[in-house]
Amino acid sequence: MKVSKFGGTSLASAPQLKKVAAIIQTDKSRKIIVVSAPGKRFDTDIKVTDLLISLSSAALSGEDVEKPLGLVVERYKQIAGELNLGQGILKTIESDFIDRLSYDMANPVLFTDQLKAGGEDNSAKLLASYLNSLGLNAEYVNPSEAGLVLTDFPQRASVMPQSYERLSCLAAKDSISIFPGFFGFTESGVLRTFERGGSDITGSILAAAIKAELYENFTDVDCVFAANPKIVDNPIEIQQMTYREMRELSYAGFSVFHDEALMPAFKQSIPVCIKNTNNPDAPGTMIVADRQYSKRPVTGISADSGFSTLYVSKYLMNREIGFGRKLLQILEDEEISYEHIPSGIDNLSVILRNHQLTPAKEARILDRVKHELEADDVHIRGDFSMVVLVGEGMHNTVGLAARATDAIARTGANIEMINQGSSEVSLVFGVLKQDEKKILKELYKEFFSAVYSY
């Protein structure tokens, strides 16, 4: 039995849903289908999830919701009409969104979550209806009734252990289960959503729960590439990679697969295959526990912007017991997680994601570090990018770091931070955002275009 997840572009229009249906029909082992909300139909289009965020904002502000609601419903109406599904399914979808707008707004985050979840939920209902119209035995599955239990608010939404046993019952169903991604419910019945891209997580959880032979993740590319094809011309295709390699690349900007989605599949050793809805016969990229290593030590290169550095300096910092703990406690008090902590004997830097910071938080952090920790210097600097080299063979390769730094030096850019050794499969460089693209191109040239002597 396989679990197959289809992303937003795969469900953006009626022609795309027809492709999804054809893929399901070609393999009877595809018994559990996870769906995202309809995505973009063209470059300037708006995803349904973004339309729902605008709808939520209007509702919370007390504005007229008729127009933003109409935009959402129209997307489903167009798909349903082109699939000749009739008015029944459309009335079901429209009523669902109207009901969601009547939910309690006391907690804006939870109100927005349940409204956003309507994108995936109604996408699943629409696909189930279409498959039934084709004569297939398909059934929409409600995550609450199936047993997908998530953590309570305000904790970050994550799956609870009891979910796996409850969800395992899906394996016994004769019908094709159409399961909405992105959300689940707490034990008390409160809807929670994963982060954006969370449908990948739902699919991985279901694959682990039923111990699937394969978790297929259908998107709009044939495979995972060694670098971003929007930056590097014709990057090589990655045919096979390990969970660890994919995790590191996803962390640093690979948008093909949500980085958290690997953990459930990894724990059950379930292989994952990245495939293309528009070209389903392409072999795709297999993500496995172990693989045969080639002579090329670097599997992929990725980069992501949106980082800031909290720089702290204090003379004899290395002799002060508890300094690091106290600093991290200040960040914890502000509900901020950190990414990296490169350090020296009298200074350290904490790499943070920009989206966690606000001017008020920054001011409080700087003030507390200055006065409570008696730092000699403390400041926050933004506009950083992380460039990451990833490969299982890297830690056995002599001179790799030197080659990487030489390549970066050729661009004229400065390296602000290096993190090597904490992971056996990655080498991380902190650079200024303005230098990100030229560094990525030069590193690709060095490790994928050069003649190898290994």
The DSSP annotation for 344-411 comes to -SSEEEEEEEGGG--HHHHHHHHHHHHHHS--SEEEEEEEEEEEEEE-TTGGG-TTHHHHHHHHHHHT
Residue 343: what pLDDT?
87
- With 0-12 CB in 10 A as exposed, 13-18 as middle and 19+ as buried, what is 13? buried
Q: Please calculate the CA angle 436-336-258 and round it to the nearest 5 degrees.
A: 55
Helix, coil or strand: residue 301: strand
- What local confidence, expressed as pLDDT, does residue 451 receive? 45
What pLDDT was estimated at residue 425?
86
User: By C-alpha distance, which of 287, 211, 291, 284 is closest to 243?
Assistant: 287
pLDDT-based confidence at residue 253 (cuts at 50, 70, 90)? low
| Mean pLDDT value of segment 411-432 | 85
Q: What is the mean pLDDT of the chain?
A: 92
What percent of the chain has a predicted confidence (pLDDT) above 90? 76
Residue 248's pLDDT band (cuts 50, 70, 90): confident
pLDDT of residue 294: 67
Cα(100)–Cα(110) distance, integer angstroms: 11
Q: Tokens 């017991």 correspond to what residue?
A: 321
Identify the pLDDT of residue 372. 95
Residue 397 has a pLDDT of 80
| CA atoms of 50 and 118, how far apart (whole Å) | 12
8 is in an annotated binding site: yes
72, containing H or E segment: helix 66-82
- Determine the Cα angle at 453 with ends 389 and 416, to 5°: 30
Domains and CATH numbers, the chain: 2-288 (3.40.1160.10), 300-449 (3.30.2130.10)
The annotation status of 202 as a binding-site residue, yes or no, is: no
pLDDT tens digits, one per residue of 69-125: 999 999 999 999 999 998 999 999 999 999 999 999 999 999 999 999 999 999 999
pLDDT, tens digit (0-9, with 9 covering 90-100), for 191-232: 999 986 789 999 999 999 999 999 999 998 888 899 988 899
- Is 442 marked within a binding site? no
Count the neighbouring beta carbons within 10 Å of the beta carbon of residue 386.
Answer: 23
Q: Label residue 172 by pLDDT band (50, 70, 90).
A: very high
* pLDDT tens track for 406-416: 999 999 999 98
CA distance 245 to 350: 24
- Report whether 220 belongs to an annotated binding site: yes
Tens digit of pLDDT for each residue in 149-160?
A: 999 998 889 999
* 3-class secondary-structure state, position 200: helix
Q: Per the annotation, does 219 bind a ligand? A: yes
Q: Do 317 and 373 meet the contact criterion of CB atoms below 8 Å apart?
A: no
Both structure tokens of 11? 């469900």
Q: What pLDDT, on the 0 to 100 scale, is given for residue 422?
A: 60
306 annotated binding-site participant: no
Mean pLDDT in residue range 317-342? 93
Q: Which residues pair with 426 in a beta bridge?
A: 390
Alpha-helical runs (H) found in 252-358: 262-267, 323-333
pLDDT tier, 438 (very low <50, low <70, confident <90, very high otherwise): very high
Return the closest-CA partner of residue 305 out of 384, 374, 368.
384
Average pLDDT over residues 387-416: 90
DSSP per residue over 9-28, as a string? GGGSSHHHHHHHHHHHHT-T
Poorest-pLDDT segment among 17-26, 41-50, 98-107, 292-301: 292-301
| Percentage with pLDDT > 70 across the chain | 96
